[in-house]
Amino acid sequence: MNVSDTRFAGSIPAIYDEYLVPLLFEPYAKDLAARFGDLHSGELLEIAAGTGAVTLELAKALPASVRIVATDLNEAMLRVAATRVSRPALTWQQADAQQLPFAAAAFDAVVCQFGVMFLPDKQAGYREVLRVLRPSGRFVFNVWDRLEQNEVSRIVTDAVAGLFPDDPPRFFERTPFGYFDHATIRGQLEAAGFQRVAIETVERVTRAVSAEHVAVGLCTGTPLRSEIEARNPAGLDAAAAAATRALIASFGAGAFDNRMSAHVVTAWCG
């Protein structure tokens, strides 16, 4: 993992929220929130909350008797999230998921949407989650399926890589879509101390506004942007244009279906 893979700063959070949350994250946020329908009281921790896609759905789905603590490594993402979600029993806090600033057994549940892939030491992160969970608690998170099962992101990845044949940017392939193997995920959770693990593949479809809208979002609203600029400081427009052309070749210039595949993981303490 490159250092830039976890850096969501500058204009990235706002672009991410406007372009990518509706395209990629909203349907999976609704899915995760629905999995806590049995939580009627207590404390829930969200790690890697980003701009609050899951936080918003949890705020709508859970009763006020459930306290939500939403955290992210990047304060810039939380600042955007705080403008989207308001709830009396909601606290925003900057936190590193590998060194959570909470007491042991402080939470009844922990949730994470598309965040564990960014942990440099995933088992350390899992151990921290287990530490802050109460004995009856559970950890629910999702990760993307392989890149080949998420065609829109694959097309953009290949188009941008074609501009830099000697040193292609591989952010999507390396990090967001690089942690999909069931056996690896299960083994790391069990090694961290979780007693039971269930993994389910969930497919969703959103309606993309246009090829250009998707290309701009993925090229400028993610850490792929940093990889492009590291190779060509003035290369963002060219990268978005190449991605737009590639998407038009597959889907046309207008609105089109974005088909996605992800895995939802539930791990129990006991």
pLDDT (tens digit per residue) in 178-215:
999 999 999 999 999 999 999 999 999 999 999 999 99
The yes-or-no verdict on residue 5 having pLDDT over 80 is no
Instruction: Kindly list the distances between the CA atom of residue 34 and the CA atoms of 20, 39, 173, 211, in Å, as whole numbers in the listed order.
Output: 21, 10, 29, 31
pLDDT (tens digit per residue) in 59-102:
999 999 999 999 999 999 999 999 999 899 999 999 999 999 99
Please, are residues 120 and 98 in contact by the beta-carbon 8 Å criterion?
yes
Q: What is the residue range of 42's domain? A: 3-268
Tell me the percentage of the chain whose pLDDT exceeds 90.
Answer: 94
Other Cβ atoms less than 10 A from the Cβ of 105: the count is: 13
Number of domains composing the chain: 1
CATH number for position 176: 3.40.50.150
Q: Which helix (H) or strand (E) holds 130?
A: helix 122-132
